[in-house]
Structure 1
Amino acid sequence: MLYALLCYNDEDVVWAWDKKQDGEVMQRLGVVRDRLEAAGKLGPSLRLLPTTAATTFRKSDPPLVIDGPFAETKEQLLGIYIIDVADLDEALQVARDLGEANPGGAYEIRPLAVYNTGSPEAVAKGVATA
C-alpha cells in the first residue's frame, strides 16, 4: 500500500544547521532511504524549501494569493517520502527509523488513494535539480 510520510519539524532549527550538521543528518537518513530503495519500497522523497519561500493560493471569490505559508505553526512541513509498504505497521516502522536518524518533529502517515508518477520530463527535471 502506498503511504505519504509527511515530515514536520521546526524549520528555524533545521535551517540553522551548518553544512556539517545537515550532512550528518542527511547521511543518517540516507541509510534508511537506501534500505527502502534496495527493497523497492521507496518512491519520491522531497525536501521542501523554507516556508518563507511559500505562496498560498486561497480559493475565495475572488481568489487570493498570499506570500508565505497557510498557517503559523510550531512545526512546519519540511519534507515528504512516498513509500510502498505492506501496511500501516510497516509504515510506522519506517517513520520510527527515519525518526531515529533525524530526532525532533513528527511524521504524519497518510495512505494514498491515487498515485500518478507524472510526466517523464517533469520527473527527469526533478531528479536533475535535486
Structure 2
Amino acid sequence: MKYLCLVYSEEEKLHTLPESPQDIECLAYAQSLRESGHLIGGEALESVQTATTVRLRSGKLSINDGPFAETKEQLAGFYLIEALDLDEAIRIAAGIPPARVGCVEIRPVRRLNAPSEG
C-alpha cells in the first residue's frame, strides 16, 4: 500500500536546533529506503514564502501568496513510500530525520475510481 509521509516543521527552526537534520542525513535515509524498495519518491520543498494557494469557489478563482493556513508548522517536504500496512509506515516515518524537530503526518494514498471505457 502507498503512504504519503508529510514532513512538517517550524521553518525557522528546521535547520537551527542542535537536533536538526542536515541535508546529507535526509539524503542518506532516502537512499536506504530506495534500496529497501520502500521509497517511491520524495522531495524537500522551498520556503513557505514561495507558496501559492489556489481556490475555486462558485466559479471564481482566488490566488493567494503563502500557505493555505496560518500555522506554526509548515509543510517542508514529503516521502511517498510503499509499506505493507500502517505499522510499517509508522516505523519508516519514525526514521525520517526531520521528525526529531517537527512531525510526520502519514496518509494512505487513495486510488481514484475512474469509469472504465467500454
- Please indicate the TM-score interval, normalised by the length of the shorter structure: 0.7 to 0.9
Matches within 5 A, 1:18-29: 25-29=22-26
Higher share in strand: 2
SS in 2 for 1:90: helix
Taking the TM superposition and a 5 Å limit, the aligned residue runs for 1:31-50 are 31-50=28-47
Higher helix share: 1
Provide structure 1 residue ranges, at least 5 long, that are not aligned to the other structure.
116-130
* Residue from 76, 81, 87 that aligns with 1:89: 87
Structure 2, unpaired ranges of 5+? 113-118
- Measure how far apart 1:108 and its partner are: 0.3
**Fraction of identical pairs, as percent:** 35
Moved over 4 A (4+): none
- Equivalent in the alignment of 1:120: none
TM-score, length-scaled by structure 2: 0.81
| TM-score, reference length from structure 1 | 0.74
RMSD: 2.0
- Matched pairs, number: 108
Aligned equivalents of 1:3, 1:77: Cα separation in 2: 16
